[in-house]
Amino acid sequence: MTNPDMASRAHIIAQALPYMQRYDDRTVVVKYGGHAMGDPSLGQAFARDITLLRQSGVNPVVVHGGGPQIGKMLQRLNIVSEFKAGLRVTDKATVEVVEMVLAGSINKEIVQMINAEGGRAVGLCGKDGNLVTARKLNRTVVDPDSNIESVVDLGFVGEPASVDPTVLRLVLKEAIIPVVAPVAHGEDGETYNINADTAAGAIAGSLNAKRLLFLTDVPGVLDKDGNLIKQLSVAKARELMKDGTISGGMIPKVETCIGSLDKGVEGVVILNGKVPHAVLLELFTDGGAGTLIRP
């Protein structure tokens, strides 16, 4: 007779089959936010999920952030940093630190974690193979009191002007997992700091990804009372950004979700990366959580 515990374990594994078939040979871009990183056992669970996706025939692409880690390094170096509309004002000294932390230590740490789980990961940034070419971002902000619009100068903050996914396709064809840091060259030869959410959206769009997942440190988009919004239309998302319910780091995430749907990404989800195995739960079980942004 089958032990009930064994039977329920088998049931959970078997439940994954239709999902594995749905995502077979499809691209899933996972944005791994700096706030979801840090805990070694969570990091290991994340690396295992990504490796398992690859093993089951999915093409995972990791695009990572590292905002809090950049902040710590800037503090150690006594460089003052501020954010405007969820983006770091980036002068010359800051962009050097951003590149060092993102494309250096964090990128290699994630590559190492995935490889330790038996995957084969390779670290890239926007500069590699001209993956992402940046242009300076001219950011408009609206003062909520006066409703007056103004352009803020964020320094070396860029937005993707073009994405050439050739290098990603080559890597994916060999069953290697690309791990991308959001730092890129501009046509002017400068290095630009791109918000990781924005970079993930542009990359997902260029690959016509089946799914784009944002792993962050909250369960998803929360309403004014702090309750999770399970499904959010583009129109409602715009309303919540306007009235300030969506603020700070959630702004580039939601804006990217909207842009990615326009670019042909099939589904975009913001979810809690602090839940162990959040990626597997979202993709391979009926228990998907977080906020699904829909047209």
Nearest distance from C-beta of residue 113 to ligand ADP, angstroms: 17
Determine the residue with CB nearest ligand ADP: 249
Other beta carbons within 10 Å of 281: 18
Quote the least distance from Cβ 257 to ligand X2W, whole Å.
Answer: 14
Restricting to residues 249-278, name those near ligand ADP by CB under 6 A. Answer: 249-250
Say which residue the tokens 């932390």 belong to. Answer: 101
Q: How far is the CB of 66 from ligand ADP (least distance, A)?
A: 8
What is the CB-side half-sphere exposure of residue 12 using CA atoms within 13 A? 8
Of 70 and 292, which has the nearer Cβ to ligand X2W? Answer: 70
CB closer to ligand ADP, 172 vs 219: 219
Length in residues, the chain: 295
Strands 267-272 and 231-233: unpaired
Binding test (CB under 6 A) with ligand ADP, winner from 177, 218, 269, 278? 218
Measured from the CB atom, the residue of 37 and 52 that comes closer to ligand X2W is 37
> Which residue type does 168 have?
L
Close Cβ partners of 121 (under 8 Å, ≥ 6 residues apart): 50, 62, 110, 111, 114, 115, 176, 177, 178, 179
Q: Are strands 27-32 and 211-216 parallel, antiparallel or unpaired?
A: parallel
Smaller CB distance to ligand X2W: residue 52 or 87? 87
**Residue 28, CA distances (Å) to 97, 199, 211, 227, 289 in order:** 29, 14, 5, 27, 17
Nearer Cβ to ligand X2W (33/178): 33
248 near ligand ADP, judged by CB under 6 A:
yes
Instruction: Judge whether 66 is annotated as a binding position.
Output: yes
8: exposed, middle or buried (C-beta count within 10 Å: 0-12, 13-18, 19+)?
A: exposed
User: What is the closest distance, in whole angstroms, from the C-beta atom of residue 22 to ligand X2W in the complex?
Assistant: 27
- CA dist 167 and 129 (Å) reads 6
Q: Is 88 annotated as a binding residue?
A: yes
Q: Which is nearer to ligand ADP, 115 or 245 (CB)?
A: 245
Is residue 65 near ligand ADP by the rule CB under 6 A?
yes
Mark 35-54 with x for binding to ligand ADP (rule: CB under 6 A) and - for no binding.
xx------------------
The number of beta carbons lying within 10 Å of the beta carbon of residue 23 is: 20
> Is residue 217 involved in binding ligand ADP (CB under 6 A)?
yes
Feature table: binding site for substrate: 66-67, 88, 193
Question: Residues in the site for ligand ADP, rule: CB under 6 A?
Answer: 33-36, 65, 67, 216-218, 221-222, 245-250
